[in-house]
A and B are shown apart, each in its own frame.
Chain A
Amino acid sequence: MDRRSFIKLTAVTGTSAALASCGVPENQLIRFVPDEDIVPGVAVWKPGVCPLCAAGCGLTVRVMDADADVARNGQLGVVRIAAAKKLEGAPNHPVNRGGLCARGQAAIQVTYHPDRITQPLKRAGERGDGRYEAISWDDALADVVSRLDGLEEAGNQRALAFLSRGGASHRAVLIEQFLARFGAPPPAVYELFGDEVLRRANATSFGREQLPTIDLANAMFVLSFGADFLGTWNSPVAQAAAYGVMRQGRPGIRGGFVQVESRMSQTGASADEWVPARPGTEGVLALGLAHVIMAAALRPASAAGRAGALVDGWSDGLRSYTPEQVEKITGVAAARVVRLARQFAEMRPSVAVVAGPPLAHTNGLFTAVAVNALNALVGSIEQPGGVFFTPQVDLAAALKMSGRAAGAPAPPFRLQREGADDPHIGDAQVLLVDGANPVFTAPRVWGVDQALAKVPYIVSFGSFLDEMAVLADLILPDHSFLEAWREAVPESGATVAVASVAPPVMRPLYQTRSTPDVLLEVGRRLRRPLNLPWQTFDQMLAAAFAALPSASPDADAWTDAQAKGAWSGPVPPGLGRAASLPAPPAARPIAFEEPRFDGDAGQFPFHFLPYPSSAFLDGSLAHLPWLQEMPDPLTSAMWSSWVEINPAAAERLGIGQGDVLEIASAHGSIRAAAVLTPGIAPDMVAMPVGQGHRTFTRYASGRGANPVEALAPMTEPATGALAWAATRVRVSRVGPPDGRLVLFAGGMREHVEEHR
């Protein structure tokens, strides 16, 4: 028997077996019908967009054949599919230039996660107990439509809340249009490690309400105030690529790098010099440098322009920020202040960066404005080796969408009860949730879960049963990023405007639907349809990209962008997002205010620093097994939570490596294992955020502890942003090592000096 007839025979046998067993034989035959034209064993590469953070890195996805268990038309079967196999950075993408971070590498496990929600679910038990029953898409959408119709009938459209993670994207424009046309407030945006304070400061200093792009590649000297720019902040792959060039990419030239922070971050670990300043005083150090530069007449005060004029005492040369005074406040020696100032002024081009813990204090805005002024003083704004602002396309204008009707827009719902008139999330009648998980990432004292309990109807677009989704009455699972049209509009990471876009890489594995398409369909089915001008999300993207000039002579912008995975270039006239905001009203100049901390220093002797973990960021990636098993860069910990403490402080308290500690603030307590490390001030303990999920798939549920639970409700007053570094705690040893801390380097002597 030859091969061909053998295959024919098996096919016939299989067919008759299926015919005998089932009344719908065509459903049993799907294994013989490949999904698409794919040659076994031959890889093809398709563009993609990394969905895991706001950086918007471009991907190339390796696609090959694989046999998958799939559900089609309600029937299970095995089918040969074109499956994504490996993610790489897209070589020509203007942001990541071929690189990809550890998290991006693991993103593929989102698609193939065993605990993905595979179809619409309706709550079948009490809220939070995780019992759901299957529901058809038709019934599910009818349910949502009737709820929204109900709001409209009652004239209560303002009771529709939408919770998302923010950031500019076409998806965000669609959500905004959906809400505006329905008559609901704009989406409530919550991001634990959001950069609202920095955006506000940049708007104040430079008229640009956005994150900066740092031209590290051309810098001679980088002074970073707490920014984890190589690890978790802003556009880490773009920044690491530029960092590599700064260090060793220019023959004979090596840029210097100093990091100011009181807990050594992954980025700080690469610095030539690490400068611990007292928490919340980093801005004073920046002004101290500016004082020295002006006093030595290295640069005139006027060079800083508006960014300097905002700072109290700037025109007088910041007389109250003498090195001696700065030493008293920050703990950084006066001689060191002078030396750093000279280096900063003389090793041109130099650039200062600020983000992370220094801005997570009650005086965060002052700190950011102070660093901005220092940058402006030495002429580092929009100059090679300095700070740039990526030009932004006005997406709504590209889509010819008007904004909201004139008059003050309704304020968005808020998560914390502050600001008397703003509606609170607990007042919503219907809540739609896309991507955010404030139950995990908001301080326990905000009472987000109690507030959500009062919302009569919650719909989640989530793919996993996390702490937020488990409160939903209806779950309408989104496609994974490889199964749907994806796009991103990076806020930073390139000096030209960028819009990433990619068609679906593979067919959906499950009965999921793309959330933008679901919103469009709901909008059509409402009794008073929303009249959004697109049938599907890709139509919307096509319309948006059609407004952009093509980067290639052979194809229009839309075709070209799809093939390359991104559009980039100069922003055409009329489509730029307001390049400059009007100067802020002449408020009083910004001056140093002592940072306020929650908790009395006697009773709570340690500063508490929760920080975004290298693996999980704010915890939204804790469900990916590769990231759980990736050793942490600074501790080599895997699958664990830990508390970093200085060896001297640990000795005083009788704490040894791995001992179980209790960290207690005035608002809550958590337990985790101690990691003794010299890279932290003796009056501080630090803990990575990410673990401690009550429910988030088999890999993350019930693992470790969530430091956010102990945070005080301290905020930066101008923006209302959570001051997540402003809580004080006490530390006590509750037991010996109990195996909860897993270190990869446990058996290897890595320490140059043993600390016992």
Chain B
Amino acid sequence: MPRWGMAADLDRCNGCGACVVACHAENNISTVGPEEAARGRAKHWLRVERYWEGDFPDVRVTFRPVLCQHCDNAPCEPVCPTYASHHTEEGLNAQVYNRCIGTRYCANACPYNARFFDFFNPSWDKPLHLQLNPDVSLRMVGVVEKCTFCVQRINGAQVQAKAEGRGVRDGEIQPACAQSCPSRALVFGDLDDPESQASRLSRSPRGSHLLEDTGSRPKVAYLARQA
């Protein structure tokens, strides 16, 4: 049984935002428009944060792509009264939209601001809807949505591998963000496979996890910028 995780190399990441748009394109995330965005209702399952240090002229910035950390000890899960937010056998923090009743306890409990509430039904000015990915369900008003590690791609690759009578190869599954990343900063894979690239990178001496002291045991490892 795999345990999916990711390594994000901050020495490669340069904040370009390709992952952010790729995620929108893959996961049918609707845009909310300027008025709702100003109310803090924009949905970005993946965002690029930036950390400024110093004053002019000695300024330094570090970018950090932040998505659901798919915690092994996820604060979002036990607070859900309907088990909409739950842990899969493969270690994903999954969200069953049909169970969600919109309490938003999970979004409040998440230390990473990785969960987004749908204040409206999604809408696409026709024919933008033709782009929608049929593999990903739309989220209606009143539920919380979040990064799935592109579970539709994971399932697709597993079905394909099974049909071919083999296991899933390392690197075969790429979430949309990792596939688009020009500098190859994001690497997805099975953390329980010590040989997988994601697993090897996660053990790097440059590696750390975000807000580890909350005890959430996140599965996204960040490899620090050097120098």
Which A residues contact B (CB, under 8 angstroms)?
41, 64, 66, 68-69, 83-89, 96, 98-106, 108-109, 112-114, 230-231, 236-237, 240-241, 243-244, 247-249, 254, 256, 264, 266-267, 269-270, 272, 274-276, 509, 614-615, 625-631, 633-634, 636, 638-640, 646-648, 677-682, 698, 703, 739, 742, 744-748, 750-753
Contacts and interface: CB of A to CB of B under 8 A. Distances in A.
A747 B54 CA distance: 21
Contacts of A85: 131-134
A747 B47 CA distance: 14
Interface of B: 9, 11-12, 14-18, 20-22, 24-26, 31-34, 37-38, 40, 42, 44, 47-57, 59-61, 63, 113, 125-134, 176, 179-185, 223, 226-227
A109 B131 contact: yes
Most buried by B among A108, A231, A243, A633: A633
Contact of A752 (B53, B57, B129): B53
A275 B22 CA distance: 33
A96 B18 CA distance: 13
A244 B184 contact: yes
Contacts of B24: 105, 626, 629
Contact of A248 (B12, B34, B56, B61): B12
A102 B49 contact: no
Contact of B25 (A108, A243, A646, A677): A108
A114 B128 contact: yes
A628 B31 contact: yes
Nearest to B20: A630
A134 B35 CA distance: 34
B47 to A, nearest CB: 6
A735 to B, nearest CB: 17
10 contacts: A89-B180, A99-B182, A100-B18, A266-B14, A274-B60, A626-B24, A631-B20, A633-B63, A639-B37, A744-B44
A581 to B, nearest CB: 32
B92 to A, nearest CB: 21
Nearest to A331: B57
Contact of B59 (A89, A266, A678): A678
Given A112-B131, A264-B61, A266-B15, A100 B54 contact: no
A698 B125 contact: yes
A488 to B, nearest CB: 17
Nearest to A269: B61
Contacts of B12: 243-244, 247-248
Contacts of B31: 625-626, 628-629
A631 B130 contact: no
Contacts of A739: 38
Contacts of B14: 230-231, 240, 243, 266-267, 269-270
A106 B130 contact: no
Contacts of A247: 9, 11-12, 183, 226
A680 B59 CA distance: 9
A678 B52 contact: yes
A742 B36 CA distance: 10
A633 B48 contact: yes
B104 to A, nearest CB: 15
A653 B53 CA distance: 23
A634 B15 contact: yes
Contacts of A509: 127
Given A276-B57, A628-B31, A648-B56, A102 B227 contact: no
Contact of B47 (A88, A631, A648): A631
Nearest to A41: B134
Contacts of B133: 85-86
A276 B127 CA distance: 46
A270 B63 contact: yes
A99 B184 contact: yes
Contacts of B20: 102, 630-631
A248 B181 CA distance: 15
B116 to A, nearest CB: 12
A89 B19 CA distance: 12
B179 A101 contact: no
Nearest to A40: B134
A264 B63 CA distance: 14
Contacts of A68: 127, 130
B25 A105 contact: yes
A154 B146 CA distance: 66
A751 B180 CA distance: 28
B17 A630 contact: yes
Nearest to B201: A248
Contact of B21 (A99, A627, A750): A627
Contacts of A615: 17
A648 B57 CA distance: 12
A746 B40 contact: yes
B182 A629 contact: no
Contact of A106 (B25, B37, B63): B25
Most buried by B among A631, A703, A746, A748: A631
B17 A614 contact: yes
A102 B18 contact: yes
A627 B25 CA distance: 11
B180 A105 contact: yes
Contacts of A231: 14, 16
A744 B17 CA distance: 13
B17 A631 contact: yes
B183 A680 contact: no
A468 B13 CA distance: 37
Contacts of A113: 128
A88 B223 CA distance: 25
A704 B182 CA distance: 29
Contacts of B17: 102, 614-615, 630-631, 633
Nearest to A262: B57
Contacts of B44: 631, 744
A330 B224 CA distance: 33
A276 B227 contact: no
Contacts of A681: 56-57
A521 B183 CA distance: 43
Nearest to A750: B49
A25 B29 CA distance: 39
Given A106-B21, A267-B14, A270-B15, A83 B130 contact: yes
A582 B132 CA distance: 54
Given A102-B21, A114-B126, A744 B55 contact: no
B180 A99 contact: yes
A754 B53 CA distance: 10
